[in-house]
Structure 1
Amino acid sequence: MEILDYIKRQNDDWVIGSDRFHFQQLFENFYLELLAYKTPQKILLAEREPVRFLAGFLAACAANCPVFLCNPDWGKQEWQEVFNLVQPNLILGDEDSGGWNRILYAPLPMPPSGSPVPHRDGNRQDGGWTHHYLCPIPNTIMIPTGGSSGKIKFAIHTWDTLMASVKGFTEYFQLNKVNSFCVLPLYHVSGLMQFMRSFTTGGKLAIFPFKEVESNQIYHIESSEFFISLVPTQLQRLLQNPDFTTWLSQFKTVLLGGAPAWNELLEKARFYRIRLAPTYGMTETASQIATVKPDDFLNGKISSGQILPHAKITICNEQGEVLNSNQKGNIIITSQSLALGYYPEIWKNQDYLQVDDLGFLDNDGHLNIVGRSSNKIITGGENVYPIEIESAIRATKMVNDVCVIGIPDKQWGQAITAIYIPKKANISSLEIQNILKDKLCKFKIPKHWISVPTLPRNTQGKINHQQLQQIVTNRLQTSPK
């Protein structure tokens, strides 16, 4: 079995700060338990501890069990949503004691009334868990994605689609081994693919929660040999500390993705000679399919990068006609790393994926993102993309964070609304608007301004637009007319 061969080939210190033999024991125990079942088990993997998570993940893959990667910090409503969708056989999660094969009763709610509940069958010699539901898609890896909607869904991947992404990455950066310093959650594609790159190439993997990094609780490694992946908000926070700025500048490459980065942040990273590699990708493509190489970034290149060898991007208009260089249109992705669908549905056409993003390929073949089709605001008959307005507002250097959306308006169709975090309490929206008059067309300047202490971003830096809309609705309802 390919996965078993990979495990045998690992060096003693491949997971920095962890015992390889402890990992192997965890893997073998769980793998053998799964093999005792007559059919593949549907598994929810909600382990918080990284080594246990990785051992469970690999054992499930090696035993051909469909595994659903889960965030252990999901709330009651989110877990109920996942239960209703998946109806699992096994749930692997945090417990102070007990073996791998267990049901986690808290904080997970029980399935809805009338649904079969996983239970131990005393008549079975293996003492395993039974369930009335079987998974229609065996041997798959389900990776959660909520995007900007906030509703959880699982992109269906396989070991092969993830490996296609690894191969494209190593070819692009011309590497035999990939050492990764991971501060992103392993249940998310951005963290999982860091593990996959290191594990399958014989590289090293250091795993530290971002909070530990910020509090200087980090393992001292040879940074020049490692890749680290960050989202823009994490990079922003680290660059506010001179010690962290120096630390980041020592890394071989700092991959940046998860959400759009703003020009001021990129300029600051370039000023401090951070070997940044802005990327473009998503859960459905098993992470990045376009990346700027660090040398190109330091030399002033601004884009989402060159297309990796395992992918192809075509820009088309609304009629499906292929556009030329520098013409903006819909992004069509062809890649060996594409997901098969969203659980439990398999996509009818798996040859390509048309995404919500709009962009163009420049003369160098680099991808440039201009906005999202679903985020487009039509105000007074004009098409406006939030990313342009957000960039202009950030450039005033008067906000720490900002998000621009459109809300229904009887006069304009949609009214541009800016939800922002001011850098100082005494900064008013009028001050910002006065600066924007020389930067944006009049119809692009937001009509509503809402100051907030925080924006509802997830760990990958993506805005939850459902929560944001609720914030706007509540604020406008209570504000003076």
Structure 2
Amino acid sequence: MDLGSLFQFAVSRHPDWTAIVEAERRFTYREFDQLTTNIAAGLQSLGIGQGDRIVLVLKNRLEMSALYWAVQKLGAVFTPINFRLSAEEVRYCIEDAEAKAVVYEPASEEAVLQATASWSPLRIGVLGAAGAEVTYEQLAASESADWAKPRISDDDYCLMLYTSGTTGRPKGVPRTHKNEYGAAMAHIIQNRYEKKESTIGVMPLYHTMGIRSLLSMAFLNGKIVMIPDYAPQLTLEVLEKEEITCVYLVPTILHDLLYHPDFKKYNLSKLRKLGYAGAAMTTALVQDCFRELKPDVFVNHYGSTEVYTFSVCDYLDKKPGCAGKPGIHQELRVVVPDPDGKSTPDDVVAVGEPGEIIVNLASIEAFQGYWKRPDANRKAIRSGWYFTGDMGVIDSDGDLYVVGRVDDMIISGGENIHPIEVEDVIAKHPKVSEVAVVGLPDSRWGEVVTAFVVPSDHSLTVEELDAFCKESPDLANFKRPRRYVWVAELPKSPVGKILRRKLRSGEYTQSEPMMKESAS
């Protein structure tokens, strides 16, 4: 099943149902099908065909969604990147992908024009972006009667996402129609979605979470409401007005919504299904989601761009923060962590012992290797298994807990300490808004456990928080932070992941009180 055909099946089933919304613009499935076919015909007339990579540097707007489905109909490869990237980063991705075309808007115009100054694919402008050779509006007005629909294989590439590149050059992750079909169906099943669900398009379409929301709604004749410029109040307004039934978000956004001062003014009674991924969620936030939103379904999805599903947990009321059991297409193991890459899939650790999480690449959802990166393949892929770089523990029930990155583990005084278990305790303090824990160099301990705290109440003192940690039955004393730093905000990636490397390197804004050592 190629994705363009699956979209066409949805159009045939319910042509008059609403497919997509952005502000005052609304398209039925029939209308959106015609628009996307026009765009596909326009792209084809410009010489873009099967297998060609089209790089998109756009916000989460209706035009980007239309281009996604047009590219699928064409058999080309949708290659979205973050619209906030620098000119050099845009240039790298365009050249690495060997892009045939690049689509951009005013927000990314300067970076794209600089990136394509010496060598340029076809430039396609949205919303009047300067320097374009053709506009989105011209494509949308194309004549679709004579366009030639290609024969597309399940194993053809349809999507290439670039990883964030936090540890080096971004890596292209090519994914096939089969991969994307399998991931979408797993998402539907694991989140218990039904026909005619509705969701918000706030997670970026250059991220696997955004793509998953787009596909799952289309396959179910659901509605997706695009939000190009995320803001908590605007998102709350959309959730109420459009009677949204399900969301799939990073914890940061759920945190923003629940703790917005106007949260209780909005009627979110139609919102019955919550999913989160992309980062760990504290026990306190899980409990607040249950109390304030009372979802029928609440799922922690753990996965990656490369494979999509590793595991899912839909019993967070019993085990907050748990990553659960392998997804419907997946097998996983926890093995001896080895930064030199010498561990094998058979080096399985004992129950309750931390190790590196690995997943079987035989899954229909799994990629088979990075784009033009044999070096990355050698590091991440061994004997048919993907080595995630994440640390995890499997408990006596067979449930997985993710405890951080292999590189994030703190070794203090010879003891291994995982940041998430410390963060989980600190986040329960009523005067703490957010917290991140890292290890900072220390001449005595090697690394010292350091908590970077965003207070919700500025009366919070280091002594008060340290006493709270000492009194917690869930935190051994050797794991307690020895340093506390009050910060204005935590550095995060565009999809809400805390960037611990920036905390280690001092890239944050400190607030009162300044860094302080706790009593031993």
Mapped to 2, the partners of 1:301 and 1:394 lie a distance apart of 13
Residue 43 (structure 2) pairs with residue 34 (structure 1): yes
Q: Secondary structure at the match of 2:427?
A: helix
In the other structure, the counterpart of 1:79 is 90
Distance 1:473-1:412 versus aligned 2 partners, 3 A rule: farther
Pairwise CA RMSD of aligned residues? 3.5
Q: Secondary structure at the match of 1:18?
A: strand
Q: Secondary structure at the match of 1:341?
A: coil
Distance 1:95-1:33 versus aligned 2 partners, 3 A rule: farther
Mapped to 1, the partners of 2:241 and 2:358 lie a distance apart of 42
In the other structure, the counterpart of 1:5 is 5
Q: Structure 1 stretches of 5 or more lacking a match?
A: 97-103, 121-126, 129-136
Residue 311 (structure 2) pairs with residue 290 (structure 1): yes
Q: Determine what percentage of the aligned residue pairs are the same residue.
A: 23
Q: Secondary structure at the match of 1:72?
A: coil
Alpha-carbon shift at residue 193 of structure 1 (Å): 0.5
Residue 281 (structure 2) pairs with residue 261 (structure 1): yes
Answer whether contact 1:50 1:207 (CA < 8 A) is retained: yes
Residue 210 (structure 2) pairs with residue 191 (structure 1): yes
Deviates more, 1:380-389 or 1:321-330: 321-330
Q: Secondary structure at the match of 1:430?
A: helix
Distance 1:475-1:202 versus aligned 2 partners, 3 A rule: closer
Mapped to 1, the partners of 2:196 and 2:305 lie a distance apart of 20
Distance 1:217-1:35 versus aligned 2 partners, 3 A rule: closer
Matches within 5 A, 1:326-405: 326-334=352-360, 335-345=363-373, 347=377, 349=381, 351-405=384-438
What TM-score, normalized to structure 2? 0.76
Q: Secondary structure at the match of 2:316?
A: helix
Q: Secondary structure at the match of 2:347?
A: coil
Residue 58 (structure 2) pairs with residue 47 (structure 1): yes
Q: Secondary structure at the match of 1:167?
A: helix
Deviates more, 1:394-403 or 1:199-208: 199-208
1:273-302 CA distances to partner (integer Å, 9 max, x unpaired)?
Answer: 23422221122223x432222xx3345665
Residue 112 (structure 2) pairs with residue 116 (structure 1): no
In the other structure, the counterpart of 2:146 is none
Amino acid at match of 1:167: M
Mapped to 2, the partners of 1:398 and 1:95 lie a distance apart of 40
Distance 1:444-1:77 versus aligned 2 partners, 3 A rule: farther
Alpha-carbon shift at residue 449 of structure 1 (Å): 2.3
Q: Secondary structure at the match of 1:228?
A: strand
1:390-440 CA distances to partner (integer Å, 9 max, x unpaired)?
Answer: 112212233211111112222221222222112223322232112222334
Alpha-carbon shift at residue 50 of structure 1 (Å): 2.6
Residue 300 (structure 2) pairs with residue 278 (structure 1): yes
Q: Secondary structure at the match of 1:260?
A: coil
Deviates more, 1:353-362 or 1:435-444: 435-444
In the other structure, the counterpart of 2:127 is none
Q: Secondary structure at the match of 1:143?
A: strand
Distance 1:433-1:299 versus aligned 2 partners, 3 A rule: closer
Distance 1:315-1:119 versus aligned 2 partners, 3 A rule: closer
Alpha-carbon shift at residue 380 of structure 1 (Å): 1.5
Amino acid at match of 2:203: L
Deviates more, 1:364-373 or 1:191-200: 364-373
Mapped to 2, the partners of 1:38 and 1:255 lie a distance apart of 36
Amino acid at match of 1:308: G
Mapped to 2, the partners of 1:479 and 1:361 lie a distance apart of 35
Q: Secondary structure at the match of 2:311?
A: strand
1:330-362 CA distances to partner (integer Å, 9 max, x unpaired)?
Answer: 211123212233333263658321112222334
Alpha-carbon shift at residue 85 of structure 1 (Å): 3.5
Distance 1:480-1:304 versus aligned 2 partners, 3 A rule: closer
Alpha-carbon shift at residue 453 of structure 1 (Å): 0.8
Give the number of equivalent residue pairs. Answer: 454
In the other structure, the counterpart of 1:131 is none
Answer whether contact 1:47 1:94 (CA < 8 A) is retained: yes
Amino acid at match of 1:421: V
Mapped to 2, the partners of 1:313 and 1:266 lie a distance apart of 25
Alpha-carbon shift at residue 474 of structure 1 (Å): 9.1
Answer whether contact 1:79 1:109 (CA < 8 A) is retained: no
Alpha-carbon shift at residue 87 of structure 1 (Å): 4.7
Matches within 5 A, 1:147-296: 149=167, 152-172=170-190, 177=195, 179-182=197-200, 183-208=202-227, 210-211=230-231, 213-214=234-235, 216-218=237-239, 220-223=241-244, 226-241=245-260, 244=263, 247-248=267-268, 250-272=270-292, 273-275=294-296, 276-286=298-308, 288-293=309-314, 296=315
1:170-202 CA distances to partner (integer Å, 9 max, x unpaired)?
Answer: 344565636241232222111110111121333
Answer whether contact 1:148 1:462 (CA < 8 A) is retained: no
Answer whether contact 1:325 1:363 (CA < 8 A) is retained: yes
Mapped to 2, the partners of 1:243 and 1:480 lie a distance apart of 34
Alpha-carbon shift at residue 76 of structure 1 (Å): 3.7
Alpha-carbon shift at residue 215 of structure 1 (Å): 5.7
Alpha-carbon shift at residue 22 of structure 1 (Å): 5.1
Answer whether contact 1:450 1:472 (CA < 8 A) is retained: no
Answer whether contact 1:50 1:186 (CA < 8 A) is retained: no
In the other structure, the counterpart of 2:71 is 60
Alpha-carbon shift at residue 321 of structure 1 (Å): 2.7
Distance 1:31-1:402 versus aligned 2 partners, 3 A rule: same
Distance 1:468-1:80 versus aligned 2 partners, 3 A rule: farther
Residue 101 (structure 2) pairs with residue 90 (structure 1): yes
Distance 1:69-1:169 versus aligned 2 partners, 3 A rule: same
Distance 1:283-1:30 versus aligned 2 partners, 3 A rule: same
In the other structure, the counterpart of 1:452 is 487
Answer whether contact 1:157 1:339 (CA < 8 A) is retained: yes
Mapped to 2, the partners of 1:22 and 1:433 lie a distance apart of 59
In the other structure, the counterpart of 1:134 is none
In the other structure, the counterpart of 1:133 is none
Mapped to 2, the partners of 1:52 and 1:265 lie a distance apart of 34
Alpha-carbon shift at residue 33 of structure 1 (Å): 3.4
